[in-house]
Amino acid sequence: MSDLFGNPDNTDVQPDGVLSGSEHANVPLAVRMRPRTIDEIVGQHHLLAAGSPLRRLAEGTAAMSVFLWGPPGVGKTTIAAVVSRQTNRRFVEISAVTSGVKEVRTQLETAKRELARGTYTVLFVDEVHRFNKAQQDVLLPAVENRLVTLIAATTENPSFSVISPLLSRSLLLTLKPLTDDDLSLLVDRALDEERGLGGRFSLAPEARAGMLAMAQGDARRVLTYLEEAARGAEARGIQLIDLAILEQSVDRAAVRYDADGDQHYDVISAFIKSIRGSDVDAALHWLARMIEAGEDPRFIARRLVISASEDIGMAAPTVLQTCVAAAQAVQLIGMPEAVLNLAHATIAAATAPKSNAVTMAISAARSDVVNGHIGNVPLHLRDGHYAMAKDLGHAVDYKYPHDFEHSIVAQQYLPDELRGRQYYRPTHNGNEAQIAERVAAVRQILGDLSASSQQ
């Protein structure tokens, strides 16, 4: 394991060392152009005002641990490095993808020894949402006792992915996507500064617009595009980076989304509605549009998984498995190969029979609960595996379905207030036609059909 800039384990990172060694030509442009001070950070104005917690942390006037929540490429790692540099502390990075409890304990023990010598440690945990509960529990004493300054980065809502005790002892800071103005400023810096491209290239307006559109608020992505385009221009012996060079260098068309983001949502909406409408060719077109525009493939995959249950459901239940597999493949394989997985899932979803019965069923059930139609659990369904349960009548009259023909027996499963309620109304599309027949037969055995007519 090494820290952010290639320092080996347990190496003391001096204040000049966090970003030192990142200015030679072989280091990626996005790394060379990392801000060195908090004032060089682009965007996140809501977090960088005078007296703000983040600025006080960077200035060394506050001792706290923080969670940085935001999309990729908005400065989470940069903030951690700047804090370490400006506060003259050791900087150690661990990735939740590759590190386990053993690695975390090792770093904390090292931090404890260094603290005894008077050296504080900034521990940066990337993708902290990938740590399980046990791994997060290991961090808790160190945070509570301020053994380290924990800076944890996540792209997922910490309220759902981080244990409450750890989150309650830290400050949660939400980072926003960078604007086109923010990205344009980064591009100008990279074009002009010696640690960047040193003024050797100029950027045509249409190439700049295409670059910003494809970056989608991601600083790392826009600087990677610029670096590749500069290499393309250099290979042709020219200094002007135009749209043609950009397209050829990054191997994708500069399909522009609207500046206000409307087109982004319009395209994903057209994609989902084409799948819902079973137009496979239209669905593939919108998929291609998103891919060529640089859309996050994980976002596309998530929408496919949702569509598989929302619009297809039990009419073709294996489509959900296909879409989940595609989402996993996007994570494991990455682009560009994962394009095939997304296309596979898109075709499976678009050509499948459709049903929104699952969507309607859970919506109806939730509506009853929200409106107070709940009732008590029937006595025979209650837990009977504890002392006194029998005396209370719990589970006494429960009929074990496997003791009966077809493993079905007539008994009440819903609360008294909801007897006879039918939420799931299967269609006769695809696989759901067979399910509809079985559901009707089962309901007749359970004796709910006659009761439902009273609703």
CA angle, 22 as apex, 19 and 28 as ends, to 5°?
130
Distance from C-alpha of 450 to C-alpha of 432, rounded to nearest angstrom? 23
Question: Is 15 within a domain?
Answer: no
Instruction: Assess whether 288 and 341 both reside in one domain.
Output: yes
Distance from C-alpha of 383 to C-alpha of 77, rounded to nearest angstrom? 49
Instruction: Assess whether 163 and 42 both reside in one domain.
Output: yes
Residue 251: strand, helix, or coil = coil
Question: Is 340 within a domain?
Answer: yes
Backbone dihedral angles phi then psi of residue 56, each to the nearest 5 degrees: -65, -35
Instruction: Assess whether 152 and 240 both reside in one domain.
Output: no
**CB neighbours of 336 closer than 8 A, spacing ≥ 6?**
none
Instruction: Assess whether 330 and 418 both reside in one domain.
Output: no
Instruction: Assess whether 77 and 144 both reside in one domain.
Output: yes
HSE-CB of 106 using CA atoms within 13 angstroms: 12
CA angle, 342 as apex, 340 and 345 as ends, to 5°?
110
pTM (2 d.p.) = 0.49
- Looking up residue 329, the CATH number of its domain turns out to be 1.20.272.10
From the CB of residue 442, how many other CB atoms can be counted at a distance below 10 Å?
12
Confirm if 389 and 383 have CB atoms less than 8 A apart: yes
pLDDT tens for the 455 residues of the chain, in order:
333 223 333 333 333 333 344 444 568 888 888 888 878 888 887 887 777 777 777 776 566 788 888 888 888 888 877 877 766 778 888 887 777 788 888 889 998 898 888 888 888 888 888 787 878 888 888 888 888 888 888 888 888 778 888 888 888 888 888 888 999 999 999 999 998 999 999 999 999 988 888 887 888 888 988 998 998 899 899 999 998 888 877 765 444 444 344 566 778 889 999 999 999 999 999 999 888 777 788 889 999 999 999 999 999 999 999 999 999 998 888 878 889 999 999 999 999 999 999 999 999 898 888 888 888 888 888 888 877 878 788 878 888 888 888 888 888 888 888 888 888 899 899 988 888 888 888 888 887 443 443 44
For the chain, the 3-state helix, strand and coil shares in percent, each to the nearest 5, are 55, 5, 40
> Of the residues 250, 283, 311, which one is the last residue of a structural domain?
250
Question: Is 431 within a domain?
Answer: yes
Our count of domains for the chain comes to: 4
Instruction: Assess whether 75 and 211 both reside in one domain.
Output: no
Confirm if 43 and 74 have CB atoms less than 8 A apart: yes
The alpha helices in 193-251, defined as continuous H runs, are 205-215, 219-235, 243-250
Instruction: Assess whether 244 and 286 both reside in one domain.
Output: no
Question: Is 358 within a domain?
Answer: no
Range of the domain at 230: 180-250
